[in-house]
Amino acid sequence: MKYQHLIEQLNAPEKEKRLAALSDLMSAVKKGEMVLPQPGNDVNNHIHTSYSFSPYSPSKAIWMALQAGLKTAGIMDHDSISGAPEFIEAGKIAGLLTTIGVECRVKLDGTAMAGRRLNNPDQDGVAYVALHGVPHTQISTVVDYFRPFIEARRQRNRKMVEKINVLVKSYGIALDVDRDVEWLSMVHDGGTVTERHILFALAKLLIKTVGTGVPLVAFLRDNLKIQVSEKASAMLTEKPADTPAGSENPYIAYDLLGALKSDMVERFYIPALEECPDIHSWLAFTEKVNGISAYAYLGDVVDSVTGDKKAQQFEDSFLPELFQELKRLNFRAVTYMPSRNTPEQLNRVRDFCQEYALFQISGEDINSPRQKFICEAQRNPEFANLNDAAFALIGHEQEATEDTKRGFFSEPIVARWPDLDERIKRFKALAR
């Protein structure tokens, strides 16, 4: 392929090279030398990049969004917004509307949800939340806010790697944080390292030591005592249909990561404490920077779509109480993924959002090359409000960047347009 070298450069170590490669690719598109799909109405507000866990740099993520025909794209890294400036610039080069945010975990001490299992499979009393629509003037403030939490996480990571090494040392496997783990993220430029990075590094060492296919599945079951699901086993032993003859499954390390994450985390997990902000202070910070706070609904899992979660109960049994508390705490929004839940779960969440006037945001959690950037379930007309919300987010981000008093939830704007739906229509029209 003539432009393959430029596509590969989208993941170059240097940001300048990545952006230059994207610029050259877009020049080829404008000259008619490359053809991109015509954008439809699909949007995605939850794309991870190499600043947390993802096979895509911010520039590559924008290119993949173009390849998928997305109309808008949003960056959402764990504990880090350091990839946002590149993402914004890449969006401008590509002519693609963007929005920026950051995902993190918060402690629920002092709330009605303290000690309960919400949307976090690994730890009770700690929940995943998202800060959407960060004004561009506030990026450095958000970076500074998360810096100590990232450092605390790095220290906990080292302790978890030590625990993993105890589990696998008899098989001649030993993880080194500096050599095997941290280079997988843009940690040197404000990125963060998560449990996924640790397990991905372990997956690579397992493949190198044990091999792939049936022997790998047997090793997981017989040696590591992992309950490998039928879905995971099929992914680990079968090649994708588009794999060239004679070559290995290009996704094998990601497939193995999913199998490890669903059953092994509890064996080495150390509770996250210092790296998780208190819910009250986090919400106050989101208001300070004029972002939009969102609770990330997970819902009870029966058959994990991504294969990295075992069957488990989460918020569904106490959803009324949860929404009452979200409103009391002054959360602004709820984010959910239509492809991850049943129609019954989605209808229930949407009804509660309407009842409590909570902004509804969506996004496909992209962190693996197997995942599609487009959520086909969201094409259902009943989810048209989620597309409107994506453009309203962009309108908010642009307005609040120019003047904080013009943000979606600023007092003057809410006083003028108190109805949430009317405000969404107004801010959707402002996206440019």
Please count the structural domains in the chain: 1
Residue 242 domain-assigned? Answer: no
Query: Would you give the end-to-end CA distance of the chain in angstroms?
Result: 34
Residues in the chain: 432
Give the amino acid at 209: T
**Is 13 part of a structural domain of the chain?**
yes
**Mean pLDDT over residues 299-320, rounded?**
76
Which two three-digit tokens encode residue 354? 């309407």
pLDDT of residue 301: 86
Could you report the per-residue pLDDT of 249-289, keeping only the tens digit for each?
A: 889 999 999 999 988 999 999 999 999 999 999 999 999 99
Residue 122 DSSP symbol: T
363: pLDDT strictly greater than 90? no
Inside any domain, residue 415: no
Q: Could you tell me the two tokens for 158?
A: 């080292």
* pLDDT tens column, 64-84: 999 999 999 999 999 999 999
8 has a pLDDT exceeding 60: yes
Q: How many CB atoms lie within 10 A of CB 179?
A: 10
CA contacts within 13 A on the Cβ side of 87: 32
Q: Which two tokens stand for residue 244?
A: 């060239």
Rounded mean pLDDT, 120-124: 93
Q: Which amino acid is at 60?
A: K
Q: Are 393 and 74 in contact (CB under 8 A)?
A: yes
Residue that wins the pLDDT comparison between 22 and 307: 22
Range of the domain at 4: 1-35
CA 304/CA 284 separation, integer angstroms: 34
Domain annotation covers residue 298: no
